[in-house]
């Protein structure tokens, strides 16, 4: 990855660096998940803070600013994510285990007030605030951010990263300069993965919806999920209890995907059901390209009405994935319905 950029990002890097003198106070990098948007935003932020950029705009990696940045303690750089540890009102970080946070809170945005009022630690330097992913702002935190964007502090640049731009407030969108991040072609992705030492990655690239980074980072998950496919391929003969257990073991809490085992299981089923529908209607599979014959057989015997109803039920269950419910029993129940949607 030359200069910490992915090959498919070179053109947009050149575009940005050609116009650095007219840098807006808020940028929004958006596009499909798993194409390196956050990495790009991080590299661009470092380049803005670097005091000795080269002629292509890349950070030197050696100046005091780059050393601070690489050590994770640059005083002019802030990053907000839903996973940040939150302190109690008395300033003590709780050691009690809590469920994974899915939103950036209004408290996190308000805490930026002191940062905005400070001067840069470098003469004439910038201060950078990265928000990732921006769609995890809730209504209160989004409105608090909007006030900051409406009256931008001097020398402050907001860098927003979003997988789902449609979830952002229109008023926030209107105050950001938007950059649609490029999605690599299949050929670009496979060539890059080959450079990383991965051979025959086409099947995995299809399953991870064209994301070469997910292919690289989710090897363990992919190998585990294939065990579930073999069970799901049984159709009406599937054993719901065993399959539910297998599905929930596909994604660990420390997976690179940062999704829970419950959501991982649901996503696996959503992709599987989608390909049955696609095979029934268009004679092809999108996610499971090596299983075309299996899906053709399943599609021949499926009751479409029951299939669509099952898709709806899994969609509803995904909305509750973070709730403290007995999801294994719910998934097992839906898998029982899965066995009933095939015409014997």
Helix H, strand E, coil C: the string for the chain is CHHHCCHHHHHHHHHHHCCHHHCCCEEEEECCCCCCHHHHHHHHHHHHHCCCCCCCCCCCCCCHHHHHHHCCCCCCEEEECCCCCCECCCCCECCCCCCCCCCECHHHHHCHHHHHHCCCCCCCCCEEEEECCHHHECHHHHHHHHHHHHCCCCCEEEEEEECCHHHCCHHHHCCCEEEECCCCCHHHHHHHHHHCCCCCCHHHHHHCCCCHHHHHHCHHHHHHHHHHHHHHCCHHHCCHHHHHHHHHCCCCCCCCCCCCHHHHHHHHHHHHHHHHHHHHHHCCCCCCHHHHHHHHHHHHCECHHHHHHHHHHHHHHHHCCCCCCCHHHHHHHHHHHHHHCECC
Query: Do 161 and 28 share a structural domain?
Result: yes
Query: Do 112 and 17 share a structural domain?
Result: yes
Its domain, for residue 204, covers 189-217
Cβ atoms of 177 and 140 closer than 8 Å = no
Rounded CA-CA distance 139/162 in Å is 16
CATH number of the domain at 158, please: 3.40.50.300
Domain tally, the chain: 3
Query: Do 154 and 205 share a structural domain?
Result: no
Query: Do 194 and 168 share a structural domain?
Result: no
Query: Do 269 and 138 share a structural domain?
Result: no
In a domain, 92, yes or no: no
In a domain, 225, yes or no: yes
In a domain, 40, yes or no: yes
In a domain, 262, yes or no: yes
CB-based burial of residue 104 (10 Å sphere; 0-12 exposed, 13-18 middle, 19+ buried)?
Answer: buried
Rounded CA-CA distance 151/112 in Å is 14
In a domain, 296, yes or no: yes
Tell me the CA distances in angstroms from 242 to 232, 247, 274, 332, one per residue in order.
11, 9, 22, 9
In a domain, 90, yes or no: no
What confidence score (pLDDT) does residue 221 get? 81
Query: Do 117 and 43 share a structural domain?
Result: yes
Taking the model in full, what pTM does it have? 0.82
Nearest alpha-carbon partner for 25 in 121, 159, 170: 159
In a domain, 226, yes or no: yes
Query: Do 19 and 39 share a structural domain?
Result: yes
In a domain, 91, yes or no: no
Query: Do 122 and 33 share a structural domain?
Result: yes
Token pair belonging to 192: 């890059």
Find all residues with CB under 8 Å of 44, minimum gap 6, and list them. Answer: 13, 16, 159
Query: Do 208 and 299 share a structural domain?
Result: no
What confidence score (pLDDT) does residue 4 get? 75
Query: Do 154 and 21 share a structural domain?
Result: yes
Rounded CA-CA distance 309/69 in Å is 50
Any idea how long the chain is?
344
Query: Do 314 and 208 share a structural domain?
Result: no
Token pair belonging to 94: 């709780």
Encode the chain (344 residues) as per-residue pLDDT tens digits.
446 789 999 999 998 988 777 889 999 999 999 999 999 999 999 999 999 988 888 999 999 999 999 999 999 999 999 965 444 333 344 444 445 578 999 999 999 988 888 777 776 678 999 999 999 999 999 999 999 999 988 889 999 999 999 999 999 999 999 999 999 999 999 999 999 998 889 999 999 999 999 999 888 788 889 889 999 999 999 999 999 999 988 754 434 456 778 888 999 999 999 999 999 999 999 999 999 999 999 999 999 999 999 999 999 998 876 665 667 889 999 999 999 999 86
CATH number of the domain at 294, please: 1.20.272
Would you give the distance in Å from CA 195 to the centre of its chain?
23
Query: Do 261 and 142 share a structural domain?
Result: no
């Amino acid at each position: 990855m030359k200069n910490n950029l992915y090959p498919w990002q070179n053109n947009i890097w050149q575009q940005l660096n050609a116009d650095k003198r007219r840098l807006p106070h808020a940028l929004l990098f958006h596009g499909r998940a798993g194409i390196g948007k956050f990495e790009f935003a991080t590299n661009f932020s470092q380049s803005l803070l670097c005091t000795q950029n080269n002629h292509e705009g890349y950070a030197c990696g050696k100046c005091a600013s780059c050393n601070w940045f690489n050590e994770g303690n640059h005083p002019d750089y802030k990053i907000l994510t839903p996973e940040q540890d939150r302190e109690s009102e008395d300033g003590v970080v709780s050691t009690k285990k809590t469920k994974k946070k899915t939103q950036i809170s209004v408290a996190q945005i308000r805490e930026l007030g002191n940062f905005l009022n400070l001067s840069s630690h470098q003469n004439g330097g910038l201060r950078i605030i990265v928000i990732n992913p921006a769609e995890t702002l809730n209504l209160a935190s989004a409105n608090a951010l909007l006030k900051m964007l409406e009256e931008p502090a001097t020398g402050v640049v907001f860098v927003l990263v979003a997988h789902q731009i449609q979830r952002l407030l229109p008023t926030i969108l209107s105050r950001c300069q938007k950059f649609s991040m490029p999605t690599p072609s299949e050929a670009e992705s496979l060539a890059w993965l080959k450079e990383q030492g991965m051979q025959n990655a086409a099947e995995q690239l299809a399953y991870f919806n064209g994301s070469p980074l997910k292919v690289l980072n989710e090897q363990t998950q992919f190998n585990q999920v294939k065990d579930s496919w073999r069970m799901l391929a049984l159709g009406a003969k599937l054993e719901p209890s065993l399959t539910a257990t297998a599905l929930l073991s596909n994604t660990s809490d420390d997976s690179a995907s940062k999704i829970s085992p419950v959501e991982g299981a649901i996503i696996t089923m959503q992709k599987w059901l989608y390909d049955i529908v696609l095979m029934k209607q268009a004679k092809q599979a999108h996610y499971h390209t090596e299983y075309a014959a299996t899906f053709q057989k399943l599609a021949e015997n499926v009751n479409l009405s029951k299939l669509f109803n099952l898709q709806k039920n899994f969609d509803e269950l995904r909305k509750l994935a973070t709730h403290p419910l007995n999801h294994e029993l719910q998934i097992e129940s839906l898998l029982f319905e899965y066995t009933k949607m095939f015409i014997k």
